Chain A
């Protein structure tokens, strides 16, 4: 039937993992004995199923765009295709998305995109900050801050951005005017903005991870990593946990709630140079000085594969559709399908004309990679990198002013509290029930402890109250004293014994000493 393959595809979009066997009907209701609750759960489950099906159908039939691709013909391989060939082969509108901005004077550039992919933010190390609508080439703002700027990031929208300058973090608005100077962030080197929680986090030379809420201005947490200066930090988009790479080859993961790292993984022999996390939060890719690029499963913290290179990779990024970009000096390599399985060859390669790569960021919802180099910024076409269909309620590249304002309000209303950040984000709303036997044991132990305490109390009370004859205060006092003496008796006895033994030892020692000075034949007389 024509519906069969459609049904199969529909099931793939369900958030729950696919099982080989179809689960028994109502298996999840096994432990529930309350009939009312069972009925309600069945009804809810049916609603979930219907909603999932509807969502999958919409995704299948109503998506306006298809993903990009490049296919080599004949004996040619995709990695042999040059960027110029791709630019020449695509239509004009797409070809305009590839460009090189030559900015040789103001230092290695960091390049990042806003959440909707419409605005690009450049930050040169010598203090050049610029926001532009990169598709139309319109420059929104440009400012020279006259200070070393190590990292830049957009905040919740393209109206505000933050720059990690020499001493502090500064926030600028869309006109390039300085709005805030955040002194809590000391000597920052990397910035990360957690969009769902409105948290701006930074880490730098002092190795102190600092979280600040940009909507209220409150400092949420400050963690001393005690692992030295750190300049590699990325967020895990699935659970908002920050992954930091350190000079001793470890990757640590942090949440604002716990002062010690939640996870510590030894990843490389030597410093960790770059990190990237898969958008679904399944895999972590790390690059180290030992010239290895390793792929880890973040849910089980187990290594999956390792790729070897001739020089260490200095930048990494993963696109929305799972394409990995690796930057080594001037050489850029793009790998496809390399995370869940080991890929034999790269997907595309490119040599940057402007200089050595200092940062890599994929543009969301576009087949474009923004490369910050030592001599400027390049935009490279990567067919198949971006998600073709955006969701207007998540990020709308074509948002009007009113829509942008309403989205900002909606984001603020839905802002999550920092204490909901945890390794498994689905724990929120779950009722943690301890197993029956553990609960029974705990109750037993509590009861035993209680009984023991009560028994001792009773004994004490009995002791005090037991009297023969008249219960006068003097007699009671005497009894108490006797009790004290009685209690002390064994201790005293032990002490006396100890003293006795010590004395005996000393005597024996003296005797022995004396005997030594006397000839052996006369020992009998001195014993």
Chain B
């Protein structure tokens, strides 16, 4: 007779000394792990609730003496941010310590645009006083102390009319300004190297492509977005839309995609090779969208609107994933993503630059590997059960100011009634008499070459 009875040796299953790690044994037999789905759903629900409990995105407000008109982040140093205001004051901020390191004095009109050079030590700013100034931007080590007023600019470029925007090339010492026309300047020359005109209207903004460095886009007062290449003598393409575009941002990870922030409360993502239809339409604002900026990951972008809110969108999503607002934040004129993709800066009319977290419930600071794992697990759980009604309700819930809530309700009513009317017209007319333009093509008037 052969017999064996289970007999475990306690020493094999427990630790010898208090310094040793405790022994963990796993058995993945499904019979031992019952109710896995129900447990996962419970954990997902708890994770969604905790996410809301820990969602505190506002970090700090950095004050100026007049409304903020432009922001620029240093491509080389994560801490440093430049903000220009309507009284001509430019400040270099050290974000973690929340203090002004330098004040760049020189402009007499509102500073309309600032941009860093790729080396992170020089920056250019343009203003309504028809000048562009080149500054040296030193960065001091972290020490608390009084704000030091800065020296004069290194160089001053004079133009013929007021400038509306400026953007620096990502590789070379060139920058482009927007005013009456698009002008490309070099650091060494006092006259523009190149001038691009198409039509007689004013140019509102200009943006260089970080990936494809010689390509840049501009937006004009004639409701157009124009694409240029520095290697060619004239502009390449022009896309005319139904409403004016306030700002353009290029996707740093996908060289051919850019997002345009339009006056009609939407953002449109285009592939520059196929301008017949938008790749994506991003809707959620109830007033004009003033500025847009991509995250360095290229997976999301932040946009600031005239309706006093800042929204973060996923790069391919039709609606925002997050909305930030405060009673004290007035019209948002400029937004930037931080260099590590964790923070969002918004400059608004109430003279403050606000620092927000990109992920509202993220734990800042150094996290232990177990904390990181737990945060990733919670995120994955919510992602898996996001269609369940309870989880969906909690994850979707956002408090939004009354004005925005009412305005979006009104927009929804108007949209629904327009849609209904159109459907009825189609129903009661000859088939093929009424053509419906897809949403992505609706706002495009023409594409010119």
The reply to whether the CB of A491 lies closer than 8 angstroms to some CB of chain B is no
A13 to B33, CA, bound (A): 13
Q: Tell me if B1 and A90 are in contact (CB < 8 A).
A: no
By a CB distance below 8 angstroms, the chain A residues around B5 are 68, 86, 90, 94, 97, 367, 381, 383
Query: Is A89 in contact with B1, judged by CB distance below 8 angstroms?
Result: yes
Contact flags A358-376 to B (C-beta < 8 A → 1, else 0): 0000000111000000000
> In the assembled complex, which residues on chain B have CB atoms less than 8 Å from the CB atom of A1?
none
A22-63 contacts to B (CB < 8 Å): 36, 55-56, 58-59, 62-63
Chain A residues contacting B22 (CB-CB under 8 Å) are: 400, 403
**Are the C-beta atoms of A279 and B31 separated by less than 8 Å?**
yes
Binds A, one of B38-46, B228-236, B366-374: B38-46
* Contact A68:B43 (CB < 8 A) given known A56-B28, A58-B26, A238-B34: no
CB distance from A512 to the nearest CB of B (A): 70
Contact with B along A380-392 (1 / 0, CB 8 A): 0101001111111
Give the residues in chain A near B43, CB-CB below 8 Å: 413-414
User: Is A70 part of the binding interface, using a Cβ–Cβ cutoff of 8 Å?
Assistant: yes
Residue B428 interfacial (CB < 8 Å) = no
Nearest Cβ on chain B to A180's Cβ, whole angstroms? 25
With beta carbons under 8 angstroms apart, the residue of A94, A391, A415 that contacts B27 is: A391
Do B37 and A428 have beta carbons less than 8 Å apart? Answer: yes
* A55 CB contacts on chain B under 8 angstroms: 28
- Min C-beta distance of A446 to chain B, whole Å: 18
1/0 per residue, CB under 8 A from A, across B260-277: the answer is 000000000000000000
A58 contacts which chain B residues (CB < 8 A)? 26, 28
Interface status of A73 (Cβ within 8 A of chain B): yes
Across-interface contacts of B39 in A (CB, < 8 A): 196, 414, 416
In the bound complex, residues from chain A placing their C-beta under 8 Å from that of B328 are none
Q: In the assembled complex, which residues on chain B have CB atoms less than 8 Å from the CB atom of A390? A: 25, 27, 32
Residues of B within 8 A of A392 (CB): 23-26
Min CB distance A215 to B, Å, is 13
* A71: chain B residues within 8 A (beta carbon): 1-3
Inter-chain contacts of A69 with B (CB < 8 A): 2-4
Q: Which of B7-15, B213-221, B339-347, B412-420 contacts A (4 or more CB under 8 A)?
A: B7-15
If the complex has contacts A68-B6, A93-B7, are A429 and B1 also in contact, measured as CB distance less than 8 A? Answer: no
Partner among A76, A86, A196, A279 whose Cβ is within 8 Å of the Cβ of B35: A196
Q: Is B30's beta carbon under 8 Å from chain A?
A: yes
The CA-CA distance from A372 to B36 in the complex, in Å, is 33
Q: Does A407 contact B (CB under 8 A)?
A: no
Q: How far is the CB of B48 from chain A (nearest CB, A)?
A: 14
Q: How large is the interface on B (under 10, 10 to 19, 20 to 34, 35 or more residues)?
A: 35 or more
Q: How large is the interface on A (under 10, 10 to 19, 20 to 34, 35 or more residues)?
A: 35 or more
Hey, which chain B residues are within 8 Å of A66, CB to CB?
4
Smallest Cβ distance from B44 to chain A, in angstroms? 9
In whole angstroms, what is the CA distance A71 to B4 when docked? 9
Q: Which of A320, A387, A420, A431 is in CB contact (< 8 Å) with B38? A: A420
Are the CB atoms of B33 and A391 closer together than 8 Å? yes
What is the chain B residue whose CB lies nearest that of A414?
A: B39
Contact: A429 with B40, CB < 8 Å? yes
Q: For the complex, would chain A's binding face be called helix, strand, loop or mixed by DSSP majority?
A: loop
CB-CB < 8 A to A429: which residues of B? 37, 40-41, 384-385, 388
The answer to the question of A85 belonging to the interface, with a C-beta cut-off of 8 Å to chain B, is yes
- Cβ A416 vs Cβ B42 within 8 A: yes
Within 8 A of B (CB), among A390-404: 390-394, 396-398, 400, 403
A417 touches B42 (CB 8 A): yes
Contact in complex: B33, A426 (CB < 8 Å): no
Binary per-residue interface labels of chain A (75-101) against chain B in the complex, 1 for a CB within 8 Å, 0 otherwise = 010000100011001110110010000
What chain B residues lie within 8 Å of A65 (beta carbons)? 6, 8
Contacts of A184 in B (CB 8 A): none
Task: Judge whether B327 is part of the interface by a CB distance below 8 angstroms.
Answer: no
Check if B2 sits within 8 Å of A70, measured CB to CB: yes
Nearest-neighbour CB distance to chain B for A129, whole angstroms, equals 28
B6 touching A425, Cβ below 8 Å: no
Once bound together, how far apart are the Cα atoms of A15 and B35, in whole Å?
A: 13
Known A55-B28, A389-B25, A413-B46: A383·B4 in contact at CB below 8 Å: yes
Q: In the complex the two chains form, is A425's CB within 8 Å of B38's CB?
A: yes
Q: Which residue of B lies closest to A400 (CB)?
A: B22
Residues in B whose Cβ lies below 8 Å from that of A97: 5, 7
B20 to chain A: closest CB distance in Å?
12
Complex contact A70–B1 (CB within 8 A):
yes
Question: Is A203 part of the contact surface with B, judged by Cβ < 8 Å?
Answer: no
Find the B residue at minimum CB distance from A394: B32
Q: How far is the CB of A424 from chain B (nearest CB, A)?
A: 10
List 10 other contacts, CB 8 Å, given A73-B1, A383-B6, A425-B38.
Answer: A64-B25, A70-B4, A90-B4, A93-B9, A94-B6, A391-B27, A391-B29, A397-B8, A417-B42, A429-B41
Could you name 15 residue pairs across A and B whose Cβ atoms are closer than 8 Å? A63-B27, A69-B3, A70-B1, A81-B3, A280-B31, A383-B4, A390-B25, A392-B23, A393-B24, A394-B27, A414-B39, A416-B38, A425-B34, A429-B37, A429-B41
- Listed from nearest, the 7 A-B pairs whose CB atoms lie closest are A55-B28, A94-B5, A94-B7, A391-B27, A71-B2, A70-B3, A389-B27
